[in-house]
Amino acid sequence: MKPGVRALGIAESYRAERNQSTLAGAIVRADRVVDGLAYGTCTVGGFDATDAIVSVLDRLCRPDVRYVLVGAIAPAWYNLLSLSEIAEAIDRPVIAVTFEESDGLEAGIRDAFSGEERRQRLEQYRSLPDRRELSVNDETVYVRACGLEDDAAAEVVRGFTPEGGRPEPIRVARLAARATDEYVDADE
């Protein structure tokens, strides 16, 4: 991967006492240079995370971003993302990278919700691309890609992960989201 290729990483900071999660977007070049930050929020237990991520990229106004990497498919307590809607809205590939082995979210959704909220979340969850295990720097991550073939998505994840198993755009976004929440908490 060329050093100047840019990806937007999206990560959240969740605070149980609030009704929203902070989303941070970090533009990071493949050579690890941070090239922009933006923020958004999504409602805990809501249905607005997909729109919030699209808004973060729109706010950045950066056509040079080639990929979007998200660090969760269900931020803010099951506020499920639609990777295909994000990819279509921003006209770029979207790759969800998660870091723990899991049997999936269906059981959790069934336990936490009922009625229409359960039905909508299960439908959204089932519409996601299949999750694929990927070895990166002797660590295992789990990848879902929209707008890229599996091999190309693996190349992007590895290209933006110089060490460990967390892609640099997601790692930086996570730090930014947490720092923002710590600042807000200290100011209250």
Q: What is the largest CA-CA distance in the chain?
A: 48
Domain boundaries, the chain: 6-181
CATH number of 6-181: 3.30.2170.10
Q: What pLDDT, on a 0 to 100 scale, did the predictor assign at position 20?
A: 93
Average pLDDT, the chain: 96
Residue 16 structure tokens? 């149980």
pLDDT in tens, 116-172: 999 999 999 999 999 999 999 999 999 999 999 999 999 999 999 999 999 999 999
DSSP string of 77-120, one letter each residue: HH----HHHHHHHHTS-EEEEE-S--S-SHHHHHHH--HHHHHH
pTM of the model: 0.95
CA–CA dist 167, 6 (Å, integer): 12
CA–CA dist 150, 153 (Å, integer): 5
